[in-house]
Amino acid sequence: MSDSFTEVGGNNISEIVKRLRANDPTLTEIRYNPLNAPQDKWNDAEYQAKTLSTLIDAMCVNTRLKSFVIKSGSHCDHALGRMLGKLIAKNRGLHTLEVQCTDLGADGGQHIANGLTANKTLREFKTVFCKLGDEGAAPIFSALETNSGLRYLSLSSDEIGTAGAKVFADALRKNKTLLGFSFAKNCIGDIGVEAILSALLVNKTVENADFSHISGNTSGIRKDETPETNQKAFSRLLEVVRANQAMTHLGLSYSIFTAHINPFDKLGEALSVNKGLAHLNMECCALFERQFHSFVKGLNGNTHLATIWGDDIGSAYAGAPPDRGILLADLAKSMRGNPNFVHFWRGYDDVTFKQFMDKNETPIYSVIAKILNPADTFNAEDAKFCVKAMHGIHEIAYHDELERQRKAQQYSRSIDHGAQKVAADVHAYNVLALADAKIKAIGLPGLKIPKSYKPYILDDVVPAAAKPAANAKKVDFSKLDDSQLGGSFRTVSKKDKFAALAHQAVAADQIEELFSYMEKAGHRLGAKELLYRPKEDTASIAEMMASKNMLGRILTAKHWHDDVDGLKELVESLGDAVVSRQMPEGTGIDDVIWEIESQKIAPTQGRKPIRIGVRPTKK
């Protein structure tokens, strides 16, 4: 439906700008790369600045673009900071903005901060090798005190130190909407990490705290950091794990914490009482055989961890390799009462451990099948299991859908791995949303789904103007004269009587009555009718139906017959995000299109064609 990271920077600039200004719904992602320009323009600072300025001016009035990545802005460093500040302040559609390999400096950071203060729609902001330093990062961090839109912040390899970390910690105490952060490859050190961890004892909204790849006093140059400062930071980490139940993801890979200087058995004990953390990354934490045993022993009783990652977990530091069977048996013993535990970095070549993991996964696959089957209703036991195994259900649903996406595209010439992950994220979230609905349908409290599980693409909502009006005049279907309405829907206009009547009925919240009437009269709503609006500033029929979560009624092969083009037109107009939330349980638009196309092929071949990459119901 949409372009996959359209590369810009060369001869296609004029075309992309035109599409941006036209608010083309198929243009959702752009990656700017200066090397796409003619070779003699690669180092032309004036050309690069003008190109970026033209692009960003067009984006300021665009609401359809969701992701913008600048691969390099090194030829217009400080000017780029001003452009980004303008873009963030004025754009109302972008979800993700990423800037790589440029020198933004303190001025650039201030411009970006000014933009964040005025923006409520940008969800994710990333920089890599942008030389912000503490002076450039500090105003961005301070902007978080008032910004209510940003969900994830990642400033990587940006020369941020302890001073910048302390400013972030202060902002974190006041911010109520940020869900995750990462400051990889910055020398924040023990003191900076301890400051952020202290803030997490106050902040109860961050769900993804990533301390991975944060360096400390490894060279011995920093005199303000000692083994004592590291132990103090680790003690604060233990406090956070015990007290903060909001976090679902914790990243400690390549961090300042290692098992040969920190008591990881205490971390295991803290995790045993934690009721929120689902994903733990621990690569290169020196968690070797002895340390692994003590960590796992402390972990006994944990019921929420779904994944543990770490490529050196249980490895031998020196001498003979450890007996991995014994290590895995210890882990299985500690996690035997955890219904969420479905993924561990090592161990799938061990038969006994694999049997343990399969035993954990089997009931999850069963309940997912029940969640996705519209004919299946929940009982109290199903609801109880979903509440207990929510993180495991999400993890299994994500990886199964990711595998399905990969199989479906394995013969494609252009594979979009990013789009595959987004689709898997959406599917996994929708599985939990459907489970939540089935639980509530039997009168029990629903799931407490972490906000970070909801993909940004699903943040697209139908604007307020699209909601049915409470004071709209109702249609009296009993008095309609069908012969006067006309039966042609291919050339709908503002004078089309049926489209106008359908619009009035939906606006008056008479959707069920409208569908009952159409079934009796033999009418249906095609793309032209669904996109009909009596005035430019009013919502279309489709937008109003989406605002009431009723659009799924017409997102079926039966409704569209052989009109694939009409269905695609509707999706492109509304956007993939809005449509995906309206789909019937367990299906996507591609499934509907496949069913329509297969119905065309079946009569000629005598059988229904086989589809590659169908979502599995069993592992």
pLDDT > 70? residue 180: yes
Q: Which residue has the higher pLDDT, 43 or 202?
A: 202
pLDDT band at 537 (very low <50, low <70, confident <90, very high): low
Range in 463-472, 500-509, 543-552 the model is least confident about:
463-472
Q: Average pLDDT in the 414-428 region? A: 81
pLDDT > 50? residue 492: no
DSSP conformational letter for 70: E
What is the token pair recorded at 566? 């009409």
Range in 145-159, 172-186, 276-290, 473-487 the model is least confident about:
473-487
In this predicted model, what pLDDT tens digit does every residue of 181-194 receive, in sequence order? 999 999 999 999 99
In this predicted model, what pLDDT tens digit does every residue of 25-61 receive, in sequence order? 888 899 998 888 888 887 888 888 888 899 999 999 9
pLDDT > 80? residue 463: no
Sheet bearing 152-156, strands edge to edge: 6-8, 29-32, 67-70, 96-100, 124-128, 152-156, 180-182, 208-210, 249-251, 279-281, 307-309, 343-344
**DSSP strand pairing (343-344 vs 29-32):** unpaired
Cβ-in-10-Å burial (0-12, 13-18, 19+) of 233 comes to buried
In the chain, where are the structural domains located? 1-119, 370-457, 463-574
pLDDT of residue 464: 40
pLDDT of residue 572: 77
Q: Which residue has the higher pLDDT, 299 or 324?
A: 299
Cβ-in-10-Å burial (0-12, 13-18, 19+) of 479 comes to exposed
Closest CA relative to residue 265, chosen from 297, 307, 301, 232: 297
Q: Average pLDDT in the 213-238 region? A: 80
pLDDT of residue 208: 97
pLDDT > 70? residue 164: yes
pLDDT > 90? residue 244: yes
pLDDT band at 548 (very low <50, low <70, confident <90, very high): confident
pLDDT band at 487 (very low <50, low <70, confident <90, very high): very low
HEC string of 106-119 equals HHHHHHHHHHHHHC
Q: Residue 280: beta bridge partners?
A: 250, 308
Distant-in-sequence, close-in-space partners of 221: CB < 8 Å, separation ≥ 6: none
pLDDT of residue 478: 82
Distant-in-sequence, close-in-space partners of 366: CB < 8 Å, separation ≥ 6: none
pLDDT of residue 143: 97
pLDDT of residue 491: 42
pLDDT > 60? residue 331: yes
Q: Which residue has the higher pLDDT, 280 or 316?
A: 280
pTM given for the model:
0.77
pLDDT > 60? residue 586: no
pLDDT > 60? residue 399: yes
HEC string of 324-380 equals HHHHHHHHHHHCCCCCCCCEECCCCCCHHHHHHHHHHHHHHHHHHHHHHCCCCCCCH
Q: Average pLDDT in the 200-225 region? A: 81
Q: Residues 314, 325: contact at Cβ < 8 Å?
A: no
pLDDT > 90? residue 531: no
pLDDT > 80? residue 580: no
Helix (H) or strand (E) holding 289: helix 289-299
Q: Average pLDDT in the 498-513 region? A: 86
Pick the CATH number of 1-119 from 3.30.420.40, 3.80.10.10, 3.40.1360.10, 3.40.50.720: 3.80.10.10
pLDDT > 80? residue 151: yes
pLDDT > 90? residue 582: no
pLDDT of residue 328: 87
Q: Residues 527, 489: contact at Cβ < 8 Å?
A: no
Q: Average pLDDT in the 439-449 region? A: 94
Q: Average pLDDT in the 312-331 region? A: 74
Q: Which residue has the higher pLDDT, 572 or 363?
A: 363
Closest CA relative to residue 296, chosen from 278, 279, 284, 308: 308
In this predicted model, what pLDDT tens digit does every residue of 30-40 receive, in sequence order? 999 888 888 88
pLDDT of residue 574: 77
| Percentage above 70 pLDDT, the chain | 84
pLDDT of residue 312: 72
Neighbours of 437 (CB within 10 A): 14
pLDDT > 60? residue 361: yes
Helices (H) and strands (E) in the chain, counts: 23, 12
End-to-end CA distance of the chain: 29
In this predicted model, what pLDDT tens digit does every residue of 274-306 receive, in sequence order? 999 999 999 988 888 888 889 999 999 999 999
Distant-in-sequence, close-in-space partners of 526: CB < 8 Å, separation ≥ 6: 489, 490, 563, 566
pLDDT > 70? residue 609: no
Helix (H) or strand (E) holding 518: helix 511-521
pLDDT of residue 314: 67
pLDDT band at 130 (very low <50, low <70, confident <90, very high): very high
What is the token pair recorded at 367? 């309940």
Distance CA 55, CA 163 (A): 35
Which residue has 């639980």 as its token pair? Answer: 439
pLDDT band at 536 (very low <50, low <70, confident <90, very high): low
Q: Which residue has the higher pLDDT, 585 or 213?
A: 213
DSSP-derived secondary structure for 416-461: -HHHHHHHHHHHHHHHHHHHHHHHHHTTS------GGGS-GGGG--
DSSP-derived secondary structure for 394-411: HHHHHHHHHHHHHHHTTT
Q: For the chain, what is the mean pLDDT?
A: 85
pLDDT > 80? residue 469: no
Q: Which residue has the higher pLDDT, 136 or 536?
A: 136
pLDDT of residue 105: 92
Range 482-485, long-range pairs (CB < 8 A, 24+ positions): 482/521, 485/523
Q: Which residue has the higher pLDDT, 93 or 462?
A: 93
